[in-house]
Amino acid sequence: MTEPKPRDVQVTPIGADTAVLRSRTWDRLKFEVEYSLQHGTTANSYLIQADKTAVFDPPGESFSEIYLRELQQCVDLQQLDYAILGHINPNRAVTLKALLELAPQVTFVCSKPGAVALRTVFPKQELKVLVARGEETLDLGKDHQLRFIPIPTPRWPDGLCTYDPATGILFTDKLFGTHVCAEQVFDDGWKLLDEDRRHYYDCLHAAQSRQVATALDKIAQFQAKLYAPGHGPIVRYSKSRLTHDYQQWSQQQQERDITVALIYASAYGNTATLAQAITKGITKSSVGVELINCEFTAAAEIQAAVEKCDGFIIGSPTLGGHMPTQVQTALGIVLSTAAKSKLAGVFGSYGWSGEAVDEIESKLKDAGYRFGFDTIRAKFKPTDITLQQCKETGTDFAQALKKAKKIRIPRQPISDSQIDRTEQAVGRIVGSLCVVAARRGEVESAMLASWVSQASFNPPGLTVAVARDRAIEPLMHTGDRFVLNILQEGMNLRRHFLKPFAPGENRFTGLATQAAENGCSILSEALAYLECTVANRIECGDHWLVYAVVNNGKVLQPGGMTAVYRRKSGSQY
């Protein structure tokens, strides 16, 4: 096993008087815990040194020391004029405090909500703050006339992009990013980034697609040559393609037939993290989500979202034994607006008590709402296991909404003679029954699969089709490992994995298992098993087709016969 690479800062010129400082790690950062992949990341900060000097988006606490050390090699911090902030959060605040000690003369440039956040970070200090409202320019000299574009979203209400006409660089912060770590600074070979880019969008932006679409319209007014995001490669070669993808993905989210209004407030970021995990589970099921941060959303907008949604979920922290005022207001709007037929859900985080969550749950129950899941309560910062439970909860909530909507449209039972002939023919494709078992860290899941096929001899490889809304899907990305347990004839294991599981429930309770070399579970009663590593995956309609290389395997029951699954129709399992 190779030794993990240390964290470092890579400095590279990217335009006239402009450089990027890429703080890199090959590990997953803790503050991105809801982002489930482990492909590493870069935290990109940018530096313009003209007649005046400006630094963009200093990274979070994980990189504070090495970043500031490298920044001082590039510029005399006593001469630093501006620190331009695309957004502000508690993690980034640690670096900002250290930067202010080294450069007390610096002027912070941020949006109006960002200025409010800065006052929270520095409650007792007099700061130099320039509020960017989108009309002014900032002259750094040498034609660097910076333009500012506020792009508020529920997750980042203080979002701000910056355009530099001298270089054609658009500094996009959270837009167009990717959580990968590599030597490449630009996006050459960008087709290899497709899967990671889509996953980044789904995790960070799918639930705020309406605001993302508005942001895309705003930045289209500028003749950008490069996108300089906060994470991942700088976008040079695929700028048009990635812009089109964002437009298409956002449009798809807004055209969903079924929608959920997810209303929340977050004191320390923990409730927001839960909200993101739940929305990820909902969007996996092709159900739209309107993410509403009620701290920054007008009452009329909340009411409109509640009126048009098919279900709603409310999340809240507990502050001083109560829910925040903004959540109280939003709850009042829900109680007076939402039809009793709409499915409801409640979640929240707390430190020492959780009265806010209990109070919301009680008021909704008293009003007669049905709940789509058991209320989620997380103490302090949610763990990976809690977030997996939230994702599965979101998926179950979406499936319940789909089922309810179908009930409203009466359908006649379909007999064998009525099934489309093509579906009958497709259904004659026979597959072996297997249990796919996957693990990443402390998170483990499994599913019964019949769409499995050998795909290559050298290297030995196979494909598995995984539905988008399966709980195991987030554990089946490129680089992930799993065990394919091939079942033998009989119903014991099949019956066990056909039953529904509660969100986060252990799929292997009551079964004899052992750990494979890759850490995943081998079923002792299986006919055979294969240890696999995901090499690639392809988006195929409502499924992902996962191609994996077989690393190891063994027949456990030499005299057994492979279990085979036969279907009547190609339209269902």
Note whether residue 341 is domain-resident.
Answer: yes
Q: Last residue of a domain, which of 407, 439, 456? A: 407
The count of structural domains within the chain is 3
CA distance 390 to 311: 16
The domain that contains 461 carries what CATH number?
2.30.110.10
Whether 298 and 376 map to the same domain: the answer is yes
Q: Last residue of a domain, which of 352, 383, 407? A: 407
Query: Do the strands 443-449 and 343-350 form a parallel or antiparallel pair, or are they unpaired?
Result: unpaired
Whether 267 and 164 map to the same domain: the answer is no
**CA dist 334 → 264, 302, 314, 345 (Å):** 12, 8, 9, 12
**DSSP3 helix / strand / coil % (the chain, rounded to 5):** 30, 30, 40
Whether 237 and 122 map to the same domain: the answer is yes
Q: Last residue of a domain, which of 253, 282, 316? A: 253
The domain that contains 136 carries what CATH number?
3.60.15.10
Q: Supply the pLDDT for residue 182.
A: 86
Whether 484 and 534 map to the same domain: the answer is yes
User: Could you read off the pLDDT tens digit of each residue along the chain, which spans 573 residues?
Assistant: 345 567 899 999 999 999 999 999 887 665 455 566 677 889 999 999 999 999 999 999 889 999 999 999 999 999 999 999 999 988 888 999 999 999 999 999 999 999 999 998 898 888 999 999 988 899 999 999 999 999 999 989 999 999 999 999 999 999 999 998 888 999 999 998 998 999 899 888 998 999 999 999 999 999 999 999 999 999 999 999 999 999 999 999 998 999 999 999 998 889 999 999 999 999 988 899 999 999 999 999 999 999 999 999 999 999 888 899 999 999 999 999 999 999 999 999 988 778 999 999 999 999 999 999 999 999 988 888 899 999 999 999 999 999 887 744 444 455 555 567 888 888 888 889 999 999 988 899 999 999 999 999 999 999 999 999 999 998 999 999 999 999 999 878 889 999 999 998 999 999 999 999 999 999 999 999 999 999 999 989 889 999 999 999 999 999 899 999 888 888 778
Characterise 286 by phi-psi region: left (phi > 0), alpha (psi -120 to 50), beta (else): left
- 137-167 per-position pLDDT tens digit: 999 999 999 999 999 999 899 999 999 999 9
Whether 269 and 207 map to the same domain: the answer is no
Note whether residue 322 is domain-resident.
Answer: yes
Note whether residue 290 is domain-resident.
Answer: yes
Give the angle subtended at the CA of 72 by the CAs of 66 and 78, to the nearest 5°.
Answer: 135
The residue range of the domain holding 236 is 8-253
Residues 6+ apart with CB under 8 A from 502: none
Note whether residue 414 is domain-resident.
Answer: no
Whether 203 and 291 map to the same domain: the answer is no
CA distance 252 to 288: 9
Strand ranges, E, within 443-527: 443-449, 452-456, 461-467, 481-486, 513-515, 521-523
Whether 244 and 261 map to the same domain: the answer is no
Note whether residue 570 is domain-resident.
Answer: no
Whether 466 and 352 map to the same domain: the answer is no
Whether 101 and 233 map to the same domain: the answer is yes
The pTM of this model reads 0.83
Whether 263 and 249 map to the same domain: the answer is no
